[in-house]
Amino acid sequence: MAKVTDVNGFKYKFFEIGASPEKGQISELNKFFAFFPKEDIFFTIEQGKIIVFLRQIDLKEFEGKARDFTSIKEVIDEILRRIHSIKSYGIKNGKRVYVDYDKERKVKLRKEKEEERGKYFYALSHGFYDKNNALPSEFENKIICGDSEDVLKKFPDNCVDLIFTSPPYNFGLEYENHKDAESWDKYLNKLFAIFDECIRVLKFGGRIVVNVQPLFSDYIPLHHIISNFFMNRKLIWKGEIIWEKHNYNCKYTAWGSWKSPSNPYLKYTWEFLEIFSKGSLTHKGETNETDLTADEFKKWVYARWDIAPERNMKKWGHPAMFPEELARRVIKLFSFKGDIVLDPFNGVGTTTKVAKELGRRFIGIDISEEYCKKAVQRLGDKKGKSKKLKEQGILSLFSELD
């Protein structure tokens, strides 16, 4: 295991190469190491042993130069083996950085400056209480057909851990049984009424993640409109993920002012995931109830996800599905096993399908009975049956496996 030491004002990791260098090898090693700045890597001979001091390195360059020094191949191979065994490092300017790569930039009186600046100042007077409640069993692991605003009114406060959804767009997609070309005021008023219920049922410390695409052709920044709504409701903006679809065949036929700065039309291949927390940035859970791997965590916290768009929308008869991989990442990164995941615009059930596969409890709500039936089918039970919930005659479709 490499240890850390200070040399001439720089920190280095250092390790010993077991074999003593043979006559003539030291001269070749000096020639080899001369290609790299001493501030990055160097070696010394102590008591007949090679000691390598490593701060940072362009590993590809190091390996490339090594091919020219065949006479010391075994020694360099051992150095490379030891370098590769160091699993903790950062990347900066193309080099692996082995010391201080995770050191937070020191700011004088940082805590005082944060308080003075007002960390998430817009959400400080939120008024949310931190007592969470259990979800009634009649709603657990169910696909519910109905108006989400009405259905959610039956839920207690603070009973859902994660909400992941993609609301229907207001620009004429053919959603079955829903007038999706309503006026914008009416559309947003209804959307925000549903989101108000979502906020109420979300647990203290729970997260809501909304997949939304700005309506570029209409110059409507829907992601900003939705984000402003949640901030006005005192939720904490946790972050934003760019979902890069690489959908270069998207339906853009106009270029605006062709070859002119008069009015060029900008084209996009991505959507946004807006992430908010209720009351606290921390969602409590047991460490042994996470199913995130180290590689997944390191990759997914970088907020640009390259995921191909859904290819089976025709199969399921839905015009705006997101892929299962998108739901998988959101659910694993923002919830624990056994948590309750809600999608109030469940469509044909991508969220609920993935939630079930990942060992989460789920609730999917959609106004379309046809979509709800398909969502049940995707849960793996072709014998999904329906019943009337006791109040207000809401139709619930659910699996007999429950």
Query: Would you place residue 391 in the very low, low, confident or very high pLDDT band (cuts 50, 70, 90)?
Result: very low
Q: Among 20, 23, 21, 88, which Cα is nearest to 54's?
A: 88
What is the pTM for the complete model shown? 0.68
Q: Among 230, 10, 11, 173, which Cα is nearest to 2's?
A: 11
Domains in the chain (CATH in brackets) are 3-97 (no CATH), 122-398 (3.40.50.150)
**Residue 363 · residue 142 · CB < 8 Å:** yes
Residue 394 has a pLDDT of 56
- Any residues with CB less than 8 A from the CB of 192 and at least 6 apart, and which? 229
pLDDT: which is higher, 391 or 103: 103
Beta strands 160-165 and 142-145 are: unpaired
Q: How does pLDDT run across 64-82, given as a tens digit for each residue?
A: 999 999 999 999 999 999 9
Q: Is the pLDDT of residue 54 over 50?
A: yes
Q: Is the pLDDT of residue 176 over 60?
A: no
**Residue 197 · residue 152 · CB < 8 Å:** yes
Residue 254 has a pLDDT of 62
Q: Is the pLDDT of residue 381 over 80?
A: no
**Residue 232 · residue 282 · CB < 8 Å:** no
Q: Is the pLDDT of residue 49 over 70?
A: yes
Give the DSSP letter of residue 24: T
Q: Is the pLDDT of residue 152 over 90?
A: yes
Residue 30 token pair:
């000096």
Q: How does pLDDT run across 197-231, given as a tens digit for each residue?
A: 999 999 999 999 999 988 777 788 999 999 999 99
With a pLDDT cut of 70, the percent of the chain lying above it is: 83
